[in-house]
Amino acid sequence: MKQPTVRIGADRSLEHQRLPAHCIRPQRRTPQIASLERMLRQKGLHSVCEEARCPNRSECWSRKHVTFMLLGRVCTRACRFCAVSTGMPDAAPDPDEPLQVARAAASLGLSHVVLTSVNRDDLPDGGASHYAATVRALKDEASAVSVEVLTPDFQGDRRSVERVCAASPDVFNHNVETVPRLYKRVRPGARLERSLDVLAHARRMRPTAVVKSGLMVGLGENEEEVVEVLEHLRRAGVDSVTIGQYLRPSRHHLPVDRYWEPHEFQELAVLARAMGFAQVASGPLVRSSYRAGDAYDEISANRSAEE
Ligand code: SF4
């Protein structure tokens, strides 16, 4: 069957992509989305929803769910799946950013805030102290808010992981992204063992927090390799996992090897649950921060019920 050519968001560079129907999500531009954009601009803030051209932006932003991207818009790595700009950042972290994020989250009335960032391998701590300052600013502004950090690997520096954990995030998230065989091609500059060590160290530092990770499929991996990565994640103490379909952000990024079928995502979810993950989100358009608050609430409710 001929598949339609669609646009994702406002990005015309995606018009080359022929997506199966289950990867298409209608994009609307509502006054609420426009006002969120304005607020981010006014406060000098960035979102990964825009920078990564996320297909869920319309849905998430209609519900005021935005994932803040700290430390600028230029990443020191060059992952071949990612739409964020690559290069050498020309600015130090903005000391005002933690407070601006906290105020933005408060004015949106967010009960669960997700923070992520570009890689900042140019900074001595990879940006860890900036993450910590933002978590603290959020908790100072609204003590009931839960905070999820989706961090880089800090080049495996455990002191950076400790610095972030010392600010008591409720969820420590770090994505492994793909299977080890594809790292060189997909995620040069990273290694699976290093990412697993980051997650395991966060587990040790924050025994009661949720430790979360995620990966994409559609880059050339097979099911056995995905299951193997899930096993590694469980051994590292990860309790929550996201699995989504890789979508090529532009012609300059890696092509999609295969679109996994919706039933295959469901099968992976069943499998992951059976492996002991407390929370699993698996679907074509699942992203790390997609409905992250719901995922956190689910784990918290289950934990309370077990006590
Ligand atoms: S899934 Fe995450 S990155 Fe995508 S729009 Fe929603 S909050 Fe933003």
- Running along the chain, 307 residues long, what does each successive block of 10 average in pLDDT? 36 62 89 93 96 93 95 95 93 96 96 97 98 98 95 98 98 98 96 98 97 98 98 98 96 95 98 98 97 96 90
Distance 291 CA to ligand 1 centre (A): 8
* Ligand 1 pocket mutation pick from 29, 60, 118 by most atoms within 8 angstroms of CB: 60
Q: How far is the CA of 95 from the centre of ligand 1 (A)?
A: 25
Question: Which residues lie with the beta carbon below 6 Å from any ligand 1 atom?
Answer: 48-49, 54, 56-57, 60, 65, 67, 287, 289-290
Are 100 and 43 in contact by the 8 Å Cβ rule? The answer is: yes
In sequence order, what are the residues at sequence separation of 6 or more whose Cβ sits closer than 8 angstroms to the Cβ of residue 58?
Answer: 9, 25, 26, 27, 28, 29, 30, 33
Contacts of 175 (CB under 8 A, 6+ apart): 150, 195, 213, 214, 215, 288
Task: From 137, 142, 74, 86, select the one nearest 112 (Cα to Cα).
Answer: 142
How far, in Å, is the centroid of ligand 1 from the Cα of 306? 30
Which pLDDT does position 16 carry in this prediction?
A: 54
- Token pair, residue 6, equals 């669609």
Q: Which of 301, 103, 125, 296 lies closest to 211 in space, CA to CA?
A: 296
For position 17, what pLDDT does the model report?
A: 65
| Residue 8: predicted pLDDT | 39
Which tokens is 219 given?
Answer: 């880059």
Q: Which of 66, 110, 287 is the best mutation target for the ligand 1 pocket, counting ligand atoms within 8 Å of the beta carbon and taking the most?
A: 287
Name the closest-CA residue to atom 2, ligand 1: 289
Q: Report the C-alpha gap between 237 and 211 in whole angstroms.
A: 7
Tell me, what's the pLDDT at 9? 40
- Cα 307 to middle of ligand 1, angstroms: 32
pLDDT of residue 14: 53
Atom number in ligand 1 closest to CA 287: 1
Smallest CA separation from ligand 1 atom 1, residue: 290
